[in-house]
Amino acid sequence: MAAPSFADPGHGWALPSDPPEPGQSAGLLATADGGKTWRPTPAPCGGKWSEPAAVSFPTSRTGWLVCAGQPGAGQQMKALYRTDDGGRTWALVRDLSGAGYVDGVFFRPEGHGWVWMSRGNLLATEDGGREWKVLDVTSPEVVEARSVWFVSDTEGFALLQDNERRAWRLDATRDAGKTWSTVRTWHMRVR
């Protein structure tokens, strides 16, 4: 399993770490007992958006899922889906295809959300994913977001990989990502 998203101490969803068996569609894993047991659950991914790439459930009923296709030449087909019934049904919100490979997604209950990508930008939405804007904190292949999380609709953090300076950087925002300040920087170890 990879990239779990817990809505509360009991309810969580995650991406399966193994590819689906031939003839089976890719799905998610879900738990209702705090992670003791996990059950496969269907995902809407298919066609050009063939596999679940990132999932975020801010409540036990409302969640968002990014489905993505095969990456190539810095591009990836990707689409955002939303559920309001704990993952039983999903609705397509919009196509997000273009530059970058999806690394993660994080949503707040009110519909503020962020998608980050390698070889791409950090994107933000305030309307549940219908409209997106690029946040000025990343630069494809130079500074890439590795993890993003928000403690409110306006206050959040981004763990960034600065490839030019060979350093990790923790940045913070207090205005939903319009501006960022560096909290800490540390150098990557070279092996």
pLDDT 10s digits, 44-61: 988 788 889 999 999 999
Per-residue pLDDT, 106: 95
Q: Is 43 left (phi over 0), alpha (psi -120 to 50) or beta?
A: beta
* Percent above pLDDT 70 for the chain: 95
Q: What is the mean pLDDT of residues 104-118?
A: 93
CATH hierarchy code of domain 2-187: 2.130.10.10
Instruction: Please report the pLDDT score of residue 25 as a whole number.
Output: 64
Per-chain mean pLDDT for the chain: 90
Residue 21's pLDDT is: 67
**123 touches 135 (CB < 8 A):** yes
User: How crowded is the C-beta side of 46, counted as CA atoms within 13 Å?
Assistant: 8
Average pLDDT score over residue span 29-36: 95
Looking at per-residue pLDDT, the higher value among 77 and 189 belongs to 77
Question: pTM for this one?
Answer: 0.87
Query: Higher pLDDT residue, 34 or 75?
Result: 34
What is the structure's pLDDT at 173?
Answer: 95
Give per-residue pLDDT as tens, 57-77. Answer: 999 999 999 999 888 888 888
Cβ of 138: how many Cβ atoms within 10 Å?
26
Q: Can you name the residues that pair with 124 across neighbouring β-strands?
A: 114, 133
